[in-house]
Amino acid sequence: MERVAIGGILGGVPEDLVRPGFEPRRVRTPQWLVWTSLSLSDLALAGVALLLFIQGHDRALVAAAATASRSPVAFVEDQHLAPMLSFDPPEGGRVPARYQARIRQGTGQRSDALTYGEIGGDGLFFRVAVHTAVTTPAAASLFVELAKQSAELDAAVVRATSPEPYETSRGPVEWADVILSGPGGERSCLGFRFARGARAELAGLACGAHASPVGPAALGCLIDRLSTTREGKEAGLGEALNGDPPRPAACRGVMG
């Protein structure tokens, strides 16, 4: 009995205790259990493969987005390009406007920015972004445009109202009150974009000096102080800005 017990523990029966012609009965695994195990194994392998594929796909998308954000496709600064816009600061303005010209290689498309003042300062801040294209560009929403411009200024849009129309002497614009969070803290500004479709698009930000918020009328006066250069007219800015009309006398004192 001890040998039988030991044999059972060791997984077999001693040979000398097996009757001649006796064949131990083998325990058969039910066929449904075999197929179930195989099916579960297949599903597990398929799940792992799918997970690896999704993770690889996600990594590819993230890498593509990161590459696109660093790619020259997003325009390259070229100091040899002539400005398309100029700005005449309001009375009392003491700093010159800065101009950044950027081009997309191989297409001739430009993405320029004219900036007056500092986003982190207390004085007047005015920025106009210009986008040119061979054909009429598809306009993104005003919020998307303002978010992009804010990011270029190391700032972010904290709040924004719904866009409203306003008729300026240079053509219709849509504007919205925005709160920007940037290097100098939060700042109240107006975001705007010209509503007229043209070969060039203009959009920007206007922030008033301390205790002098910018309203739609003041925004119109700032826009009136923009002038297109010869290169700007060739790129279609004359169409977007409705020419170069004289500044209305009513703008005096509107800037606060």
pLDDT of 239: 80
The strand pair at 76-77 and 102-103 is best described as antiparallel
In this prediction, residue 248 has a pLDDT band, given cuts at 50, 70 and 90, of low
Band (pLDDT 50/70/90 cuts) for residue 12 is very low
Give the β-pairing of 125-132 and 200-207: antiparallel
| Closest of 18, 20, 21 to residue 7, by C-alpha | 18
Give the model confidence (pLDDT) of 122-137 as tens digits: 889 999 999 987 555 4
Average pLDDT over residues 161-184: 92
**CB 202, CB 128: distance < 8 Å:** yes
Q: Please tell me which residue, 32 or 197, carries the higher pLDDT value.
A: 197
Looking at 40-184, which runs of residues are DSSP E strands?
Answer: 76-77, 85-87, 98-100, 102-103, 111-116, 125-132, 156-160, 164-168, 171-182
What is residue 199's predicted lDDT score, i.e. its pLDDT?
80
CA distances from 218 to 23, 123, 132, 157 (A): 103, 14, 26, 21
> ∠174-215-207 over CA atoms, to 5°?
90
pLDDT at 71 over 90: no
What mean pLDDT is predicted for residues 65-75? Answer: 47
User: pLDDT band at residue 229, thresholds of 50, 70 and 90?
Assistant: very high
Q: What pLDDT was estimated at residue 69?
A: 36
Distance CA 103, CA 81 (A): 9
Phi/psi at 61 (5° precision) = -65, -45
- Tokens matching residue 159: 């709040």
Do the strands 76-77 and 98-100 form a parallel or antiparallel pair, or are they unpaired? Answer: unpaired
Residue 5 has pLDDT above 90, yes or no: no
Q: Which is more confident, 154 or 198?
A: 154
Residues 82, 94 contacting (CB under 8 angstroms): no
Average pLDDT over residues 34-47: 45
Residue 25, pLDDT score:
53
Helix ranges (H only) for 2-132 are 2-9, 31-70
Portion of the chain with pLDDT greater than 70, in percent:
61
Q: 223 with 205: CB under 8 angstroms?
A: no
Looking at residue 170, its pLDDT comes to: 87
Q: What is the mean pLDDT of residues 55-77?
A: 47
- Look at the block and give the residue holding tokens 């009757």: 19
Q: Look over the chain and give the mean of its residue pLDDT values, rounded to a whole number.
A: 74
φ/ψ region of 171 (left if φ > 0, alpha if ψ in -120 to 50, else beta) reads left
Q: Are 130 and 237 in contact (CB under 8 A)?
A: yes
- Give the pLDDT confidence score for residue 85 in this predicted structure: 94
